[in-house]
Chains A and B, each alone.
Chain A
Amino acid sequence: MQYLPNLLFAIVLIIGLGFFVMNVKKLIRNIKLGKDVNRSDNQSARWKNMAKIALGQYKMVRRPVSGILHVVVYLGFIIINIEVLEIIIDGLFGTHRVFSGVLGDGLYGFLIGTFEILAALVFVAVVVFWWRRNIAQIKRFFNKEMKGWPKNDGNIILYFEMVLMSLFIIMNATDVPFQEAGIGNPISQFVAPWFSNFSPEALHTIEKGAWWIHIIGILIFLNYLYYSKHLHILLAFPNTFYAKLKPKGQLDNLASVTSEVKMMMDPDADPYAAPAEGAEDEVPEKFGASDVTDLNWVQLMNAYTCTECGRCTSSCPANLTGKELSPRKIMMDTRDRLEEVGKNIDANGGTFVDDGKQLLNDYISPEELWACTSCNACVQECPVNIDPLSIIMDMRRYLVMEESAAPQELNMMMTNVENNGAPWQYSQMDRLNWKDEE
Chain B
Amino acid sequence: MNVPTMAEMMAQGKQPEVLFWVGAAGSYDDRAKKITRAFVKILQQANVDFAVLGTEESSTGDAAKRAGNEFLFQMQAMMNIEVLNGYEVKTIVTCDPHSFNTFKNEYPSLGGKYEVFHHTQFIKKLIDEGRLTVDDTNLKGKRLTYHDPCYLGRANDVYESPRDLIRRLGVNLTEMKRSKSTALCCGAGGAQMFKEPEKGDKDINVLRTEDALETKPQIIATGCPYCNTMMTDGVKFKEKESQVKVQDIAELIAEANNL
Question: Which residues of A does B touch, CB under 8 Å?
Answer: 62, 246-251, 253-254, 257-258, 260-262, 264-265, 287-288, 315, 317-318, 320-325, 367, 370-377, 379-381, 393, 396-401, 406-407, 409-410, 412-414, 417-418, 421-424, 426, 428-438
B5 in contact with A432 (CB, 8 Å) = yes
Chain B residues 65-113 with CB under 8 Å of chain A are: 65-79, 101, 104-106, 109-110
B24 in contact with A370 (CB, 8 Å) = no
- Size of the B side of the interface (Cβ < 8 Å), in residues, is 76
Q: List 8 A-B contacts (CB under 8 A).
A: A249-B155, A249-B156, A265-B75, A401-B71, A417-B76, A431-B27, A433-B27, A434-B33
A438 in contact with B189 (CB, 8 Å) = no
CB distance from B58 to the nearest CB of A (A): 3
B33 in contact with A437 (CB, 8 Å) = yes
A421 in contact with B58 (CB, 8 Å) = yes
A317 in contact with B184 (CB, 8 Å) = yes
Which residues of A lie under 8 Å from residue B57 when comparing CB positions?
421, 431
A409 in contact with B196 (CB, 8 Å) = yes
Contact partner of B1 (CB less than 8 A), chosen from A377, A412, A426, A436, is A436
* A-B CB proximity, top 9 nearest: A249-B155, A374-B190, A396-B68, A421-B58, A322-B201, A375-B185, A250-B105, A400-B68, A322-B200
B28 in contact with A261 (CB, 8 Å) = no
- Which of the 9-residue segments B135-143, B169-177, B202-210, B236-244 touches chain A? B202-210
Question: Which residues of B does A touch, CB under 8 Å?
Answer: 1-3, 5, 22, 24, 26-28, 33-34, 36-37, 40, 52-55, 57-59, 61, 63-79, 101, 104-106, 109-110, 150-151, 154-157, 181-182, 184-185, 187-204, 206-208
B74 in contact with A438 (CB, 8 Å) = no
Contact partner of B207 (CB less than 8 A), chosen from A264, A265, A321, is A321
Task: Across the interface, name the chain B residue whose C-beta is closest to A438.
Answer: B37
Contact partner of B200 (CB less than 8 A), chosen from A323, A376, A426, is A323
B66 in contact with A393 (CB, 8 Å) = yes
Contact partner of A410 (CB less than 8 A), chosen from B61, B194, B201, B204, is B194
CB distance from A312 to the nearest CB of B (A): 12
Q: Taking A249-B156, A399-B68 as contacts, is the C-beta distance between A374 and B198 under 8 angstroms?
A: no
Which residues of B lie under 8 Å from residue A422 when comparing CB positions?
24, 27-28, 58-59
B195 in contact with A409 (CB, 8 Å) = yes
B195 in contact with A261 (CB, 8 Å) = no
CB distance from B192 to the nearest CB of A (A): 5
B64 in contact with A414 (CB, 8 Å) = yes
Which residues of A lie under 8 Å from residue B1 when comparing CB positions?
435-436
Chain A binding surface, main DSSP class? helix
A410 in contact with B70 (CB, 8 Å) = no
Q: Taking A377-B185, A417-B61, A421-B58 as contacts, is the C-beta distance between A254 and B70 under 8 angstroms?
A: yes
Task: Across the interface, name the chain A residue whose C-beta is closest to B33.
Answer: A434
CB distance from A72 to the nearest CB of B (A): 24
Which residues of B lie under 8 Å from residue A318 when comparing CB positions?
198, 200, 204
Which residues of B lie under 8 Å from residue A288 when comparing CB positions?
68, 70
Q: Taking A258-B110, A376-B150, A436-B1 as contacts, is the C-beta distance between A418 and B72 under 8 angstroms?
A: yes
Which residues of B lie under 8 Å from residue A372 when comparing CB positions?
190
B27 in contact with A434 (CB, 8 Å) = yes
A321 in contact with B70 (CB, 8 Å) = no
Contact partner of B198 (CB less than 8 A), chosen from A370, A397, A438, is A370
A423 in contact with B185 (CB, 8 Å) = no
A321 in contact with B194 (CB, 8 Å) = no
Which residues of A lie under 8 Å from residue B109 when comparing CB positions?
253
B69 in contact with A414 (CB, 8 Å) = yes
CB distance from A23 to the nearest CB of B (A): 36
Contact partner of A320 (CB less than 8 A), chosen from B66, B77, B181, B184, is B184
Contact partner of A374 (CB less than 8 A), chosen from B28, B66, B69, is B66
Task: Across the interface, name the chain B residue whose C-beta is closest to A256.
Answer: B70
Q: How far is the CA of A370 from the CA of B68 in the complex (A)?
A: 10
Contact partner of A409 (CB less than 8 A), chosen from B58, B59, B79, B194, is B194
Q: Taking A367-B198, A377-B185 as contacts, is the C-beta distance between A401 and B58 under 8 angstroms?
A: no
B198 in contact with A371 (CB, 8 Å) = yes
B58 in contact with A410 (CB, 8 Å) = no
Q: How far is the CA of A323 from the CA of B197 in the complex (A)?
A: 9
Q: How far is the CA of A399 from the CA of B198 in the complex (A)?
A: 16
Q: How far is the CA of A430 from the CA of B55 in the complex (A)?
A: 7
Q: How far is the CA of A367 from the CA of B37 in the complex (A)?
A: 38
B36 in contact with A432 (CB, 8 Å) = no
Contact partner of A380 (CB less than 8 A), chosen from B22, B181, B192, B199, is B181
A401 in contact with B190 (CB, 8 Å) = no
Which residues of A lie under 8 Å from residue B202 when comparing CB positions?
321-322
Task: Across the interface, name the chain A residue whose C-beta is closest to B206.
Answer: A321
CB distance from B222 to the nearest CB of A (A): 14
Task: Across the interface, name the chain B residue whose C-beta is closest to A257.
Answer: B70
Q: How far is the CA of A436 from the CA of B36 in the complex (A)?
A: 12
Q: How far is the CA of A419 from the CA of B67 in the complex (A)?
A: 17
Task: Across the interface, name the chain B residue whose C-beta is closest to A369.
Answer: B68
CB distance from A407 to the nearest CB of B (A): 5
CB distance from B73 to the nearest CB of A (A): 8
Q: How far is the CA of A367 from the CA of B150 in the complex (A)?
A: 22
Q: How far is the CA of A433 from the CA of B52 in the complex (A)?
A: 12
Among B24, B67, B208, chain A packs the most CB atoms within 10 A around the CB of B67
B68 in contact with A393 (CB, 8 Å) = yes
B101 in contact with A423 (CB, 8 Å) = no
Q: How far is the CA of A413 from the CA of B36 in the complex (A)?
A: 22
Q: How far is the CA of A321 from the CA of B186 in the complex (A)?
A: 12
Q: How far is the CA of A249 from the CA of B189 in the complex (A)?
A: 11
Task: Across the interface, name the chain A residue whose C-beta is closest to B204.
Answer: A317
Q: Taking A406-B67, A414-B69, A423-B63 as contacts, is the C-beta distance between A325 and B154 under 8 angstroms?
A: no
Which residues of B lie under 8 Å from residue A406 when comparing CB positions?
67-69
A432 in contact with B3 (CB, 8 Å) = yes
Contact partner of A414 (CB less than 8 A), chosen from B67, B157, B187, B199, is B67
